[in-house]
Each structure stands twice: as structure tokens, then as C-alpha cells.
């Protein structure tokens, strides 16, 4: 349950939005430079520059009004539709953004920025197959490698079932040889993020065939097993990872979780104590230790771990829910009610954000 929900939170549209942020945030300044260059020989430069400045100040509607005025000119100045599309993208009006970027490309078929932005817009609209040719063409036309187009292109390939191409795109993002063990493991991690469990398992297994000592491969297979409810399989894989990578704090968090689910409480405590020592700023081990102590009827120790987790991350609903159980066990009714209410509010807020359009 813990890992399944974390996968869901990392759906493609969220990752796309985060990983494209540097491109989208830096793009207007480059657009202004190119627009200013184009406008040096026209009378529209001040208005186009003003529209850009309004956009930089967050005045999207005013910027659009300037662009609408410019759009009535014949011929329409270059840069207007590209900037219009960018504003629509910022407003999550993807249909309008797509139309604007398409018009920008009709005016200038070599506008690689409009090409990229139309590709990512189509991707956000769920049209991966239509996005791929644009992203491929734009990426091939840019001399400077940019990791974000590789990522979006890789996810688009995944969505249309071109898994080998997806692996190649992700490998290019990290500079790995396309058919190497690290490339297969990286692709497996990406497939797992996108909830393609069979592809993730196959790719991680292939990575281990190519390099049986590859760190993190058994850990990923263990996480896959946890997500699918195969607890004995998860423990077996995570214990193999422990032999290869004994100082990985995240590993002991996963292993402690698996032991706890398998009711191997002593082993779980040992693993989670190691996780705390290696990753003292991670909340996961503290939460799991709190859950473990609750299972062992030790609310005092459970409260100590969970209060530490709450101090580190007050926005984790599970911490508040478990603390509510601790306080209820101790007869602290008002404290328990407060924690349960906070947990419910945080869970509702998280669900709303996950369901909201992006």
C-alpha cells in the first residue's frame, strides 16, 4: 500500500510538469531575445516586448491582450503565436496552446522552441503518439543536449509501447550506453514509476543478467515485489541487495517494511535501526518503527518515534494517523481526535491534488 500510493503520485503528467519547469521558466527570456531581434526591423517591437514583460510579471491576461492586438497585424509578427501558446500552456489551456504553437510552426517551420513546446503540450493532452515526431525533430535540431526533452520523449515512447526507444532516451539523459546494464535498470525504474510493473520487472532482470553485481537492481525488484504483495519475494531480493550494498540506508527502510509486513518484528527492528543510523533525516524509518512499536503494544516508544517523524515532516498524514492510535491507546482522547482530524485533512488535500487536472 505504501509503495503503490507513492507510484500513483508520480504519474506522468506530474513528472512532466516538474521536469519541464526549467525549460518553461527559462524559455520566455530566450523568446524575448529572439522576438526583439525580429522586431528591430518592425514597429511592433515595443508592444511585443511589453507583452513579454507583462508575462514575466505574471500579468497573463494583459499580456494576451497585447498579443491579440499584434495578431491583427498583417503579416502577424513572428513570436506572437509562440508567446501566446506559452501563456495558454501556463494556464493549462492545452487545446488553445496547441493551436497557437501549430500556427507558430506554420509561420516558421524551423522554430525548434515552438516545436518542443507543442510536443510537450500534446504529451500533456495525452497524445503521446502525436508528440513523439515533434519532440524527436526538435531534439535532433538542437546542438545543446537538454535532459528534459529526453525524459518527455522517453515517457511518450513508453505510452505507445516503444519500450526499447524509451530506454534509449532515458539512457541518453544520463549518458549511459543504450543497451548497458545501467540503462536497463534506469528504464526499469522509469517503467515502475509509470506503473508498468511487467516491463519494470523484465528490464531490471535484464540488467542483472548483464551485470549480476549491479547495485540497486535487487532493491528495485524487491520494491516491485512489495508493490505486488509478494512479501517473501521482496525479502529475498532485498536481502540480496544487502549483500551487494550494505551501507544503503534506503534499502534497510524497504527491508524493514517487508519484515514488518511478514511479522518478523525482530528483523524489522534491526533493519529500521540501521536505516535511521544511515539516513537520519528520512522520516520513513521513524514511521515504520512507530508502527512496529504499536504492533508490540509499546505506545510510549511508538509515540517517541512518531513525534520525531511529525517534527521532521508535519505534512505526512500517516504519521498523524498512527499518532492518533498511540494517543487513543494512552487515553489521551483530545490529542487523538486532533491527530485523526489532521490526518483526514491531509489525506483529503492530497487526494484532491492528485485528482486535479494538470
pLDDT digits (tens, 9 = 90+) for 332-354: 999 999 999 999 999 888 776 65
Mean of all residue pLDDT scores within the chain:
84
Is residue 323 in some structural domain? yes
H-type helices in the chain, by residue range?
A: 2-8, 12-39, 45-56, 60-71, 80-90, 94-107, 112-124, 128-141, 147-159, 163-174, 181-193, 197-210, 217-227, 231-244, 249-261, 265-278, 284-295, 299-312, 317-329, 333-355
pTM score: 0.73
Supply 172's cell numbers.
Answer: 541518453
Tens of pLDDT, residues 280-301:
999 999 999 999 999 999 999 9
The reply to whether 86 and 151 lie within a common domain is yes
The reply to whether 262 and 152 lie within a common domain is no
CA dist., res. 326 & res. 332, Å (int): 9
The reply to whether 57 and 149 lie within a common domain is yes
What does the pLDDT read at residue 1?
37
pLDDT top residue among 317 and 145: 317
What does the pLDDT read at residue 345?
94
pLDDT band at 47, cuts 50/70/90?
Answer: confident
The CATH number of residue 149's host domain is 1.25.40.10
> 265 pLDDT exceeds 90?
yes
The reply to whether 197 and 240 lie within a common domain is no
2-6, 109-113, 184-188, 300-304: least confidently modelled range: 2-6
The reply to whether 120 and 65 lie within a common domain is yes
The reply to whether 263 and 300 lie within a common domain is no
> 261 pLDDT exceeds 70?
yes
The reply to whether 203 and 76 lie within a common domain is no
Tens of pLDDT, residues 197-229:
999 999 999 999 999 999 999 999 999 999 999
For the stretch 88-96, contacts whose Cβ atoms lie closer than 8 Å and that sit 24 or more positions apart, written own/partner, are 89/24, 89/117, 89/121, 90/24, 90/60, 91/60, 92/357, 92/358, 94/121, 94/124, 94/125, 95/125
The reply to whether 291 and 275 lie within a common domain is no
User: Which domain-ending residue is among 281, 305, 332?
Assistant: 281
Number of domains making up the chain: 4
Is 59 strand, coil or helix? coil
Is residue 6 in some structural domain? no
Is residue 4 in some structural domain? no
User: Which domain-ending residue is among 254, 281, 308?
Assistant: 281
CA dist., res. 270 & res. 48, Å (int): 64
The reply to whether 62 and 134 lie within a common domain is yes
User: Which domain-ending residue is among 156, 171, 200?
Assistant: 156
What does the pLDDT read at residue 149?
66
Residues spanned by the domain of 92: 12-156
The reply to whether 128 and 35 lie within a common domain is yes
What does the pLDDT read at residue 285?
97
- 35 in Cβ contact with 49 (< 8 Å): yes
Is residue 304 in some structural domain? yes
- Bond before 29 cis per omega within 30 degrees: no
The reply to whether 112 and 203 lie within a common domain is no
> 317 pLDDT exceeds 80?
yes
Is residue 63 in some structural domain? yes
The reply to whether 22 and 123 lie within a common domain is yes
> 110 pLDDT exceeds 90?
no
> 309 pLDDT exceeds 90?
yes
Is residue 2 in some structural domain? no
> 32 pLDDT exceeds 90?
no
Amino acid at each position: 500500500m505504501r509503495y503503490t500510493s507513492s507510484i500513483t503520485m508520480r504519474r506522468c503528467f506530474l513528472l512532466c510538469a516538474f521536469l519541464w519547469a526549467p525549460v518553461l521558466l527559462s524559455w520566455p527570456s530566450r523568446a524575448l531575445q529572439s522576438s526583439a531581434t525580429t522586431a528591430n526591423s518592425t514597429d511592433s517591437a515595443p508592444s511585443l516586448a511589453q507583452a513579454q514583460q507583462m508575462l514575466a510579471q505574471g500579468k497573463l491576461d494583459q499580456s494576451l491582450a497585447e498579443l491579440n492586438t499584434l495578431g491583427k497585424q498583417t503579416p502577424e509578427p513572428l513570436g506572437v503565436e509562440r508567446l501566446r501558446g506559452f501563456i495558454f500552456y501556463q494556464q493549462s489551456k492545452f487545446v488553445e496552446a496547441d493551436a497557437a504553437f501549430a500556427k507558430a510552426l506554420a509561420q516558421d517551420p524551423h522554430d525548434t522552441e515552438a516545436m518542443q513546446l507543442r510536443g510537450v503540450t500534446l504529451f500533456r493532452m495525452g497524445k503521446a503518439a502525436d508528440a513523439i515526431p515533434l519532440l524527436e525533430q526538435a531534439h535532433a535540431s538542437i546542438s545543446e543536449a537538454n535532459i528534459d526533452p529526453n525524459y518527455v520523449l522517453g515517457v511518450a515512447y513508453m505510452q505507445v509501447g516503444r519500450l526499447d526507444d524509451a530506454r534509449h532516451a532515458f539512457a541518453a539523459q544520463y549518458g549511459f550506453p543504450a543497451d548497458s546494464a545501467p540503462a536497463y535498470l534506469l528504464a526499469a525504474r522509469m517503467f515502475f514509476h509509470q506503473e508498468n510493473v511487467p516491463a519494470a520487472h523484465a528490464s531490471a532482470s535484464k540488467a542483472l543478467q548483464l551485470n549480476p553485481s549491479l547495485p540497486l537492481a535487487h532493491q528495485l525488484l524487491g520494491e516491485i515485489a512489495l508493490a505486488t504483495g509478494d512479501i517473501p519475494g521482496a525479502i529475498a531480493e532485498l536481502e540480496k541487495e544487502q549483500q551487494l550494498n550494505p551501507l544503503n540506508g534506503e534499502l534497510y527502510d524497504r527491508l524493514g517494511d517487508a519484515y514488518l509486513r511478514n511479522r518478523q518484528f525482530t528483523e524489522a527492528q534491526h533493519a529500521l535501526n540501521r536505516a535511521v543510523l544511515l539516513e537520519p533525516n528520512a522520516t520513513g524509518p521513524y514511521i515504520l518503527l512507530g508502527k512496529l512499536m504499536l504492533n508490540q503494544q509499546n505506545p510510549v516508544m511508538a509515540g517517541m518515534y512518531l513525534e520525531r517523524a511529525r517534527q521532521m515532516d508535519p505534512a505526512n498524514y500517516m504519521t498523524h494517523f498512527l499518532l492518533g492510535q498511540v494517543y487513543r491507546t494512552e487515553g489521551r482522547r483530545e490529542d487523538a481526535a486532533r491527530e485523526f482530524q489532521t490526518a483526514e485533512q491531509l489525506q483529503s488535500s492530497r487526494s484532491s491534488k492528485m485528482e486535479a487536472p494538470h
